[in-house]
Amino acid sequence: MKALIVFSGGQDSTTCLGWAKNNYQEIEAISFFYNQKHSIELEKSIEICKIINIKQIIINIDFLKNLVNSALISNGDVNKNHQDNNNLPASFVPNRNALFLTLAHSYAQKIKAHDIITGTCQTDYSGYPDCRRDFIDNLETTLNLGSDTNIKIITPLMYLTKAETFKLAQDNQCLDLILNYSHTCYNGSQLKNEWGYGCGECPACLLRKKGFYEFIKN
């Protein structure tokens, strides 16, 4: 079986990469540049793929900055509410996951991948509606209907807490990659901490830090 990993270079997708390496005969990675201000994450994704010898394709979709508002693309405050929807965090990028998975689905057909793996999670998620199980299931159905395919979208982290995600990384021998290479920080900080790289103050860092200390307690 062959899998395609939607790979950002962050904690969750790196954990998925390590998990997939132990569960599939062949894996490839697809990554996206969308003018994200934390582009260090993408740079680290390249390093990680080279370290574990995984083929990676990087797709430029920086046109997204002309279509949506998000503090991850502009210089907005990631700790505030989204300017277009007060129910969502400022870091939400409208339709990002839908676009990522649609393009990944196209590429999966080309490389004959049976599964697409993504690190979306609704347990410890940051308020993003496109990380929920219902969204993933409905998108999988729609993409397969539109392509006459049966490609599965696999979400190993969907119901895991961040502490459990650290444990999964440990079990799949990729905890070192998480702590020493992966970047999840919305501000793209390269400050090294016990729990990995990050500013320690943005929502992504706070979630990661909390999960790490819960993990090492158990």
Distance from C-alpha of 113 to C-alpha of 97, rounded to nearest angstrom: 19
Q: Give the pLDDT of residue 126.
A: 66
Domains and CATH numbers, the chain: 2-217 (3.40.50.620)
Q: Give the pLDDT of residue 17.
A: 97
Distance from C-alpha of 187 to C-alpha of 215, rounded to nearest angstrom: 24
CB-neighbour burial class of residue 86 (10 A; exposed 0-12, middle 13-18, buried 19+): exposed
Low-confidence residues of the chain, pLDDT below 70? 124-126
3-state SS of 90-111? CCCCCCHHHHHHHHHHHHHHHH
Q: Give the pLDDT of residue 215.
A: 97
Do residues 214 and 29 lie in contact, with contact meaning Cβ atoms separated by under 8 Å?
A: no
3-state SS of the chain? CEEEEECCCCHHHHHHHHHHHCCCCEEEEEEEECCCCCCHHHHHHHHHHHHCCCEEEEEECHHHHHCCCCCCCCCCCCCCECCCCCCCECCCCCCHHHHHHHHHHHHHHHHCCCEEECCCCCCCCCCCHHHCHHHHHHHHHHHHHHHCCCCEEECCCCCCCHHHHHHHHHHCCCHHHHHHCCECCCCCCCCEECCEECCCCCHHHHHHHHHHHHHHHC
Selection from 91, 84, 50 nearest residue 186 by Cα = 91
The count of C-alpha atoms lying within 13 angstroms of the C-alpha of 46, restricted to the half-sphere facing its C-beta, is 9
Q: Give the pLDDT of residue 133.
A: 94
User: Is the pTM higher than 0.75?
Assistant: yes
